[in-house]
Amino acid sequence: MNSSPKKKIIEALKDQQAIFGDDLFEEKTNLKKSKTTTSEKEKTPRESSRKTTVVKEPVANSLTPKNAVKSAWEKSESLEQLNNLICNCTKCVLHKERNKFVFGSGNPNADVMVIGEGPGADEDKQGLPFVGRAGKLLTDILKAIKFERDEVFIGNIVKCRPPDNRTPLPDEMDTCIPYLKKQIELIKPKLILCLGLTAAKGLLRKKDSLTNLRGQVFEYEGIKTMVTFHPAALLRNPNWKKDCWVDVQKFRKLYDEVN
């Protein structure tokens, strides 16, 4: 059965927000800012210069005071140990409807981490990240830039599926991100690739459009980080694949430079 017109409109708005950011939905007082975003989008890849932005984690985002006693999971010395200590987490409402906790998967010593938004229905059933249609596309994208899936580590901003695949709420992300940060600390990747605006906002704490974030090189805790489209968005809008290809080629080039 075909999707209802209402559902199609909702999906289209989600995709537009993913590209143009919150500016698209703000009041006319921000029209000037939206026009700036559009002009950035119209630049060719050669015209857009790559710059490095040092991203400092806000103090308010740290859920554990410096002098606080660390929880057992914070003392984990391996991904396996960390998974065992957090897999039954009930700190936010997302645990109530989950089938399986999606910790992440891949090489525990990976040079590259790929970070998405959150588990979908297929991931919730299997307990693994990116295993549905979007996962297959991600695997193909990685192969296109000479990465095997088991070479990298794949995770998400939140580890439990949001109802109806909605975008994770800010408090849900803030609750779960410390787990992701611990994974990054243990894996020690050289590069991070954020898939989609939610992943970029969650990790980099940047309130900007995907258009403006793409093509730039940020630093998260000294780790070079880039942003591109989420594979699910590419499935809904295949015309964006060309822009994604530009992004991941830059990412591969950056990887070769780092190594």
For 87-105, the pLDDT digits (tens) are 999 999 999 999 999 999 9
DSSP state of 164: G
Q: Which residues, in sequence order, are CB contacts of 142 under 8 Å at separation 6+? A: 114, 148, 149, 152
Q: What is the pLDDT of residues 2-20, one digit of tens each?
A: 556 666 666 656 655 555 4
Q: How confident is the model at residue 41 (pLDDT cuts 50, 70, 90)?
A: very low
Residue with structure tokens 């599926």? 161
Name the strand (E) or helix (H) holding 101.
none
Q: How confident is the model at residue 125 (pLDDT cuts 50, 70, 90)?
A: very high
pLDDT for residue 121 is more than 50 = yes
pTM over the 0.85 mark:
no
Q: How confident is the model at residue 207 (pLDDT cuts 50, 70, 90)?
A: confident
> Could you tell me if 218 and 225 are in contact, meaning their C-beta atoms sit under 8 angstroms apart?
yes
Residue 54 identity: V
Q: How confident is the model at residue 37 (pLDDT cuts 50, 70, 90)?
A: very low
Give the whole-angstrom CA distance, residue 87 versus residue 103: 7
> What are the chain's domains?
44-258 (3.40.470.10)
State residue 51's pLDDT score: 52
* Neighbour count for residue 220 (Cβ, 10 Å): 21
